[in-house]
């Protein structure tokens, strides 16, 4: 089931990007409404993009930061975390889980996934309060890469930007060596392209403007 889902997501990624190239005037909202994409990508409403006073109270009580949009509870990564869905695990603690990507783009291709609710739906759902989470994800990626014989300088660490996401649950791709990404996947994992943003750039944008977009 997981393999079929990822294969479908790969096809949707290519199809939606081609549509974006052919119809540059087509807004992201219109893309969300395309029949083939509606079930995979849901737009973030204006009400979701604002934090209430109650949200800030929760943050001050040492709760997980409130994202602009939460990951749905039935997504495949949530199933991996809760174990109904199998995966090849590399690392796990109370906050994060790391497992091998089912469709690797290079010799090492891992997913670093947050576990604690509320989990952001994607990179655009992050707020400045999520910077510590991103730094933690980066640290875990660095130590995991080191155990595989690579450094972060040799790797690509980043996120796809909606609507170019395959699973609506924040996850960071860790790919090494980045110079040897499979040629059929290099376009999908183009560093800091409009559809893929590196973790360092994500942190910088959040700290400077409060948003990835």
The per-residue pLDDT for 33 is 42
The per-residue pLDDT for 155 is 98
- Position with higher pLDDT, 159 vs 55: 159
DSSP calls for 158-196: EEEPTTS-SSSS--EEEEE-GGG--TTTTTTT-TTBTTE
Mean pLDDT, rounded, for 30-51 = 37
Q: Mean pLDDT over all residues of the chain?
A: 82
User: Does the model's pTM come out above 0.85?
Assistant: no
Contact 141, 112 (CB under 8 A): yes
- C-alpha to C-alpha distance for 111 and 97, rounded to whole angstroms: 8
Predicted confidence (pLDDT) at residue 178 exceeds the cutoff of 60 = yes
Predicted confidence (pLDDT) at residue 30 exceeds the cutoff of 70 = no
Give, rounded to a whole angstrom, the gap between the first and last alpha carbons of the chain: 32
Predicted confidence (pLDDT) at residue 147 exceeds the cutoff of 60 = yes
- Residues identified as active-site: 171
């Amino acid at each position: 089931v997981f393999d079929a889902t990822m294969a479908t997501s790969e096809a949707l990624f290519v199809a939606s990007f081609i549509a974006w190239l052919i119809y540059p005037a087509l807004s992201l909202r219109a893309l969300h409404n395309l029949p083939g994409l509606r079930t995979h990508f849901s737009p973030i409403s204006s009400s979701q993009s604002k934090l209430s006073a109650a949200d800030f109270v929760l943050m001050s009580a040492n709760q997980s930061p409130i994202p602009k949009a939460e990951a749905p509870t039935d997504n495949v990564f949530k199933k991996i975390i809760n174990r109904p869905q199998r995966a090849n695990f590399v690392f796990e603690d109370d906050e994060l889980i790391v497992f091998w990507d089912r469709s690797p783009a290079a010799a090492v291709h891992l997913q670093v996934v947050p576990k604690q609710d509320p989990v952001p739906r994607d990179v655009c759902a992050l707020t400045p309060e999520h910077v510590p989470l991103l730094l933690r994800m980066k640290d875990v990626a660095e130590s995991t890469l080191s155990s595989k014989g690579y450094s972060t300088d040799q790797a690509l660490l980043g996120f796809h930007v909606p609507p170019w996401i395959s699973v609506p649950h924040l996850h960071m791709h860790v790919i090494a060596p980045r110079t040897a990404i499979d040629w059929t996947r290099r376009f999908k994992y183009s560093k800091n392209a409009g559809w893929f943003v590196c973790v360092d750039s994500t942190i910088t944008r959040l700290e400077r403007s409060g948003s990835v977009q």
